[in-house]
Amino acid sequence: MAQLGNQGQFLAFDEFGRPFIIIKEQEKKARVKGLEAQKANIQAARAVTNLLRTSLGPCGMDKILVSKDGDVTVTNDGATILDKMEVQHQIAKLLVELSKSQDDEIGDGTTGVVVLAGALLERSLSLLDKGIHPLRICDGYERACEIAVRHLESTSEELDIQANNHEVLKKCAMTALCSKVVSAHQQKLADIAVEAVLDVADLTRRDVNFEHIKVEGKPGGSLEDTALIRGIVIDKDMSHPQMPKVVNDAKIAILTCPFEPPKPKTKHKIEVTSAEEYQKLYEQEQGYFVKMIEDVKNSGANMVLCQWGFDDEANHLLMSNNLPAVRWVGGVEIELIAMATGGRIVPRFQELSPEKLGHAAVVREIGFGTTDDRMIVIEGGTSLSALTILVRGGNKMIVDEAKRCLHDAICVVRNMVRDSRIVYGGGCAELLCSIAVNNEVDKEPTIEQYAMRAFADALEEIPTALSENSGLNPIDTVTMLKAAMNEDSSKRFGVDCLNQGTNDMKELCVYESLNSKTQQLQLATQLVRMILKIDDVFAPSQYE
């Protein structure tokens, strides 16, 4: 094989001596170094943050996301937007992971943490142009973040959860919901979120197990029809249309074994050569079915929930023996039903006994409108440790967004149970931190004071974005708020996004969890530190 004049072209011969040309495309390894790499990374991150900036706050705009399959999602939740975006740049992917970390740990504030990270990166550009080393910028940001977190902790207010102060919990949930699509129904959804969390919370250990709260959605009706059911809702119906639709004082056999004859574990072959042999085989199978029904009846059960399916023969026997049954119940639902009813999951019919049955006040099948959709509702179990929130909405898109909003509200209430300290929203917490950091800048004798001042300026990006999204003049609003807070440090002023006539966030009851706010500051600072320390980017060639 000989190389031709053009780079990447080679002359070769096959087994018959016929020549052919091999063209090998070679891409040069794209390499960006030093300051250029840092600026390119910052620009990529700003492109993502500018996209989310308009979705911040109660007046933030929604985004419509279309998947490759044509599925449409309308949301202003930062984590959902970034998760469904096809981000290709490596630095932009770090912002996606940042939002996911905030969502996993806190559940709320996913948009704010990305906007704050973008503001910190934008301020670092001017510092880099001044010749300040990236590590010095990172150190300044770290010191400023520590000052901000300490100031938030010292100015936060403690909420007494044990004193049944549920109204403040409701206000915190409403603050999380006011920026969502479902803001028109935020009061009802906040009530549901608070009730659900407090019902499953262990206040002595300050712990909430999310596995005990199940959120189900069914298109149809309106958001006003959303309800909290102290029990379990499963998206199934009775296995036979003539089975009773309501079972009072239900004694439930929770099975993970199928209603069918046992299958041998080795391969075998059965030859049926006569009608008598066929009849004998049929009677043997009937005997298996009858024995299974007898085991269920002898245990005292009057209802069966089975993880597996069963054929028409078993279904007919269950119906004729007045045993309502539900088949193909998922594994997660099986566990929740066992917790809610106090029953035991039974893997074999021989192990069925009265003490392993679950108990519920009523099990009923409900329908929706004029459709054939049915769901099974299990209420009044022996334990209230499993709840279901049934979300209704005009279409699937509204139901999905309402489920995401409820998740955020539930997470906010959960965080308040874990750490009941609160700060005030509307940009108030960020302005307090900005003032505190600026007051400490003059005490810093090193070059890090430039980075600390930039950190304080970046914190003002949150109230600035809230003002812009609310149709207010951002410069006038932020200047007025800072002046008012300097005059009276005891007041908690923020952006009046909904034009309610006052900037006092305490009066407007705009509360946020201290844990959420400190997590935003720390995660954003850590990510910016990681990005600023990158000075070399390698793009591998397509062909090695």
Task: Enumerate the active-site residues.
Answer: 77, 110-111, 408
Q: Cα 313–316–319 angle (5° rounding)? A: 150
Angle 519-407-94 from CA coordinates, rounded to 5°: 45
The Cα–Cα gap between 81 and 71 comes to 14
506 token code pair: 């305490």
Instruction: Say if residues 72 and 79 touch (Cβ distance below 8 Å).
Output: no
Most distant CA pair in the chain, distance: 101
CA distance 416 to 174: 13
Q: Within 13 Å, how many C-alpha atoms sit on residue 250's CB side?
A: 31
**What Cα–Cα distance (Å) separates residue 513 from each residue in 77, 202, 387, 459?**
18, 19, 24, 18
Taking CA 67 as the corner, what is the angle to CA 64 and CA 73, rounded to the nearest 5 degrees?
35
As a whole number of angstroms, the distance between CA 466 and CA 468 comes to 6
Residues 6+ apart with CB under 8 A from 492: 424, 428, 504, 505, 506
Taking the C-alpha atoms of residue 171 and residue 36, their distance in angstroms, rounded to an integer, is: 46
Residue 242 CB neighbours (<10 A): 8
Find, among 97, 96, 87, 63, the residue nearest to 77 by Cα: 63
CA distance linking residue 216 with residue 232, whole number of Å = 10
Task: Mention every residue, 6+ apart, whose C-beta is less than 8 A from residue 73.
Answer: 64, 65, 66, 67, 80, 84, 397, 400, 401
Which residue from 359, 419, 484, 413 is spatially nearest to 189, judged by alpha carbons? 413
Residues 6+ apart with CB under 8 A from 465: 53, 54, 56, 57, 115, 474
Tokens of 149: 């977190």
3-state secondary structure 134-154: HHHHHHHHHHHHHHHHHHHHH
Counting other chains too, the contacts that 331-335 makes at CB distance below 8 Å and 24 or more residues apart are 331/307, 332/214, 333/214, 333/232, 333/234, 334/254, 334/256, 334/305, 334/307
For residue 182, what is the DSSP state?
A: T
